[in-house]
Structure 1
């Protein structure tokens, strides 16, 4: 190797490293497989809940994958100084939008008519997101590890219900909770454990993907490996803009969707900070602003293309923590694959028809890994002689209510349900307000800037010990 080439290689940050093509492809597909179930879960939940039938739900799924692919590519590659955090961040439909979309659509007649109001509100919220991205990134000091750690923890905990339904099936059906399905999911988890324990390097890094393949092979003789939707799926297709009709606008719907954008920004901020820390890459306010702008752009595109706002996907954050692969170009491959899935419905049908227990078993590990990252972030917080433990306790209790009892707030006003009916939304609001109340108002300490790798900002960090004074 020539001296200049060696020097270039030694100075390339692992985030910017371009891995050999075979490794890029396999590692990128691993990111795809681990997030696919969560990505398609949003349209599969929203569609039936607002009164849509099979063909229209398929439109939602394809559009969701298309926008997710575009946003993921932009996040990892970047577009100038405007879009893209340039970290290994996978973008996918946020679960925060599920309840608001269902409530808004059903308030305005449900079905296609209701979705016209939903997507009208989403267009406005996308513009709103683009406008506030930069100002939002400047208030990172109000998101110390106390806040981000609590939010990341509840993201992982709240997603566990999604993988449980994949494993056990829908509650009330005759197939719910079959021991063979639960055993298959447990076997996938065991595969991940054994491969991670006894293999290193490339095999160890792809333990999740290998386990999904092995689990699918085991599911074959069980009669679970079927592809009923592949034959009827088209080879190529894209939904036309405003498939459900021209957008309609209502103030209440617009306000609700703008709240969703702000909560999504908090969720993405927590995940991007976690990725920055795991990859040893400093995250400046400008970097964060570009990442949040991409989320806003995804909402704007979703309003046109019948999709959903995107956020940084926590399960992929967990995968980075597990594999230690930091290259953003791996995530770019995942984004390209998502884009193709959105344009080639037949390929998407193959992935979507993989056995639920297999995907659910792998997702269980990834969602729990997200929770572990949140706990690790909270480990940085000083819990002595302050109210930080109380803040975490109250925030998590509010967040877990809609997770364990989805109908808990059904007697409350619809607007209240939109906010507190989401585990992530309620936790974000409670932990943010309580941190301000206890650690900012009347406190001699300044809140932390939240920028990974930067020096303490003018003194102490809220929730962390004071740095030694010169």
Structure 2
């Protein structure tokens, strides 16, 4: 990625564009990230066996929180919050698996209680994390991002085929064909289109797939009529928050992984815009992620991160004004205040959502692999670190009951692929690259220990 050349006069980041252009460019950012944002509540709601109405509430809360955090990141609050760059925030896939595990072990009240606690934790550690970013190099972030994608592919498969192998319609050929057609459409759009159209291939797949699913009798939009045109989900919809220690620890690890994702993307946007970020700038951006945990926990939303697809859009369009992102945040808030829209999205058929999710989750895996290319392997133990981190992370994916004989807190922390991979990669990186245990054949500091900007997952 080439760094933007110096410019005279006001920074392009602070440039105010004409209102009409701001609106169009802001809407484009929303269209690019919308599918990724709403996929998180869709996948979590389906895995947690929530009804369609409740999933619709989660979608609205998700969009509302994402909009608020996006405006906070773009506009900032004094010297406390917001990186003040053209970045768009949205729900992170990192939290999906831990939230599903917590919901199964402790219930929904613990899911959102632990999210609030993780948000407070994020606010407390934002400054020290920004100063210690070198301990979360591509070696760590790449391993974790790879495991995030791999661990979620099973969720996509469940949406496509169903979760009960004994069910009559499990893995029905017509359902698999529909999902395969959607994947093919996304591939064709990505291969034969350019610019903005190529950025919304997943969204097109969702729309076309849903239209095809209607005559297949796979859609049920009956709940849409009961939704209001305007409304806000009540705080703590599932009841008073609860704070099981294992759940809180797991979500705090999620917050650290989220910080790693956001840091990589904020550094990347800083390079694009020619605005080099100091630790104080990073800390304000990370603190905004912490706010998303608190607000998301209260409003039944999700932890937010800086979305990588919008970082790519900034590079593609060369539009660097942070006010475009602020307008995108305003659109997201409006969408979050329309319950009928959330009900429509929540009613999309499982095979359709699963097909879109399959592509997006596999893309996350590919981004992790791309990030690992930045790691120095010759003369280091970094290949061993990557192997062990991915191996430990994938254990609960391929053997979900492997920790069944252990206490609940071990099952929640160790049973999360993302949490266990993060802990393994972080600790092994410290052991081999920041202590006397480093490979004696290494003659210089491994490149992987540098805070190199790297693309992160959505």
Q: Pick the TM interval, shorter chain.
A: 0.7 to 0.9
Distance 1:23 1:121, change over 3 A: closer
Match of 2:235 among 241, 244, 248: 241
Partner of 2:308: 317
- 1:291 is aligned, of 285, 290, 299, to 285
Gaps of 5+ in 1: 1-6, 454-470
Q: Relative to structure 2, which stretch is displaced further, 439-448 or 17-26?
A: 17-26
Residue 266 to residue 59, structure 1, CA distance change in 2 (3 Å):
same
Partner of 1:445: 445
- How many residues align structurally? 429
Partner of 2:417: 423
Within 2, Cα distance between the matches of 1:210 and 1:290? Answer: 35
Q: Aligned match of 2:191 in 188, 197, 219?
A: 197
CA positional deviation for 1:302: 3.4
Task: Check the 8 A contact 1:33/1:209 in 2, yes or no.
Answer: yes
For 2:352 and 2:270, the matched residues in 1 are separated by 29
Instruction: Note if contact 1:43-1:64 (Cα within 8 Å) is conserved in structure 2.
Output: no
Shift of residue 195 of structure 1? 2.1
Matched, 1:151 2:144: yes
Please name the residue that 2:12 is paired with.
12
1:88 paired residue number: 87
Partner residue in 1 for 2:180: 186
Question: Is residue 2:260 matched to residue 1:269?
Answer: yes
Q: What's the CA shift for 1:229?
A: 1.5
Pick aligned residue for 1:41 from 40, 43, 64: 43
Q: 2:65 aligns with which of 67, 73, 88?
A: 67
Alignment of 1:398-437 (within 5 A): 398-437=392-431
Q: SS in structure 1 opposite 2:304?
A: strand
Deviations 1:109-142 (A, max 9, x none): xx7xxx2x66555544433321211112111111
CA RMSD of aligned residues (A): 3.5
Q: Once the 2 structures are TM-superposed, how far is the Cα of residue 426 of structure 1 from its aligned partner?
A: 0.4
* Mapping 1:46-445, distance limit 5 Å: 46=48, 48=50, 59-85=57-83, 86-92=85-91, 94-95=95-96, 97-99=98-100, 101-102=102-103, 105=106, 115=109, 119=112, 122-172=115-165, 173-247=167-241, 253-254=244-245, 256-274=247-265, 276-277=267-268, 280-281=271-272, 282-305=276-299, 307-312=300-305, 316-317=307-308, 321=312, 324=316, 332=326, 335-442=329-436, 443=438, 445=445
What TM-score do the two structures reach when normalised by structure 1?
0.79
The answer (yes or no) to whether the contact 1:15–1:279 under 8 Å persists in 2 is no
Alpha-carbon offset, residue 59 of structure 1: 4.9
Task: Describe the superposition over 1:176-218 as per-residue Cα deviations: whole angstroms up to 9, x where unpaired.
Answer: 2122222222222222222222222332333333333333333
The offset of 1:13, in angstroms, is 5.8
